Amino acid sequence: MFPDLRCRFMPEDDMTPTRQEAIRQLLVRAFADTAHRFATASYWGARPEYRLWIETPDGTIVAHLDFERRVVGVGDRDIRIAGTGEVAVHPDWQRHGLGRRLMNAFRAVLRERTPVDFGYLNCLEDVAGFYIAVGWHRTDQPSLRLHPDTGEPTTWTGATMILPVRQPLERWPREETVDLRGMSW
Ligand SMILES: CC(C)(COP(=O)(O)OP(=O)(O)OC[C@H]1O[C@@H](n2cnc3c(N)ncnc32)[C@H](O)[C@@H]1OP(=O)(O)O)[C@@H](O)C(=O)NCCC(=O)NCCS
């Protein structure tokens, strides 16, 4: 479906202001209830390291995610993850398989170009089913992080999703608290 769509991958440092703005506008549309988070910036929380998106032949960005590689603490272990955020498909394009396509491309990027052991993200209940449908695993262990708005240490107790990349799921210590050692994505 939609053979003309193209997937693009880029380091944050190479993004033009025009592209940043297009992504910001996509995020405002996709996250309608929390659009204020993207009033001036194309991310909320930790600054991304890379962006992955799907665009139409005329360059319109219709699906997007970003991530940062970081070594986090899980119990007494250090694990390299891709902290993932700003996962969004434009409302006009949702439920047509673009989210799945983006995630398939993401898995390939994480294996071949920016190696990590696991993908990591937190999400709200109403999209947890999407991540499970596209290959993530739910663990729901608490995580410590700095709050994006206040910088204060906070604990997340909602949905936690793990994507095995270079390590099998069994290697993820799912009973332990995750220390993100910074802001979430
Ligand atoms: C969540 C989101 C990225 C999904 O993208 P999408 O392009 O609509 O998803 P797809 O069409 O590729 O769906 C892939 C699978 O997930 C399922 N799915 C999609 N959205 C779902 C949801 N909200 N809950 C449960 N399952 C969902 C689809 O039914 C499909 O399953 P199937 O292939 O087994 O039939 C998109 O709805 C979105 O951008 N939402 C607003 C922003 C947001 O909340 N992002 C997540 C932040 S953590």
Top mutation candidate among 33, 127, 136, 162 for ligand 1, by most atoms within 8 Å of CB: 127
Q: Which domain holds residue 154?
A: 6-183
Nearest CA to ligand 1 atom 21: 130
Quick check: is 172 in a domain? yes
Encode pLDDT of 126-145 as tens digits: 999 999 999 999 999 999 99
Any idea what the CATH number is for the domain that residue 46 is in? 3.40.630.30
Instruction: Please tell me the total count of domains within the chain.
Output: 1
Q: Is 88 in the pocket of ligand 1 (CB under 6 A)?
A: yes
Quick check: is 42 in a domain? yes
Cα-based distances in Å from 139 to 116, 162, 169, 173, 174:
18, 7, 10, 9, 6
98: region left, alpha or beta (phi > 0 left; psi from -120 to 50 alpha): alpha
Between the CA of 176 and the centroid of ligand 1 the distance, in Å, is 28
**pLDDT exceeds cutoff 90 at 14:** yes
Between the CA of 86 and the centroid of ligand 1 the distance, in Å, is 13
Q: What's residue 59's pLDDT?
A: 96
Mean pLDDT of 84-93: 98
Nearest CA to ligand 1 atom 18: 130
Structure tokens at 21: 């703005």
Encode pLDDT of 21-72 as tens digits: 999 999 999 999 999 999 999 999 999 999 999 999 999 999 999 999 999 9
Q: Is 91 in the pocket of ligand 1 (CB under 6 A)?
A: no
CB 153 within 8 A of CB 145: yes
95: region left, alpha or beta (phi > 0 left; psi from -120 to 50 alpha): left
Quick check: is 167 in a domain? yes
Predicted model pTM: 0.98
How many Å apart are CA 138 and CA 127, to the nearest integer? 12
How many Å apart are CA 179 and CA 40, to the nearest integer? 28
Residue 1 — very low, low, confident or very high, per pLDDT cuts 50/70/90? confident
Quick check: is 1 in a domain? no
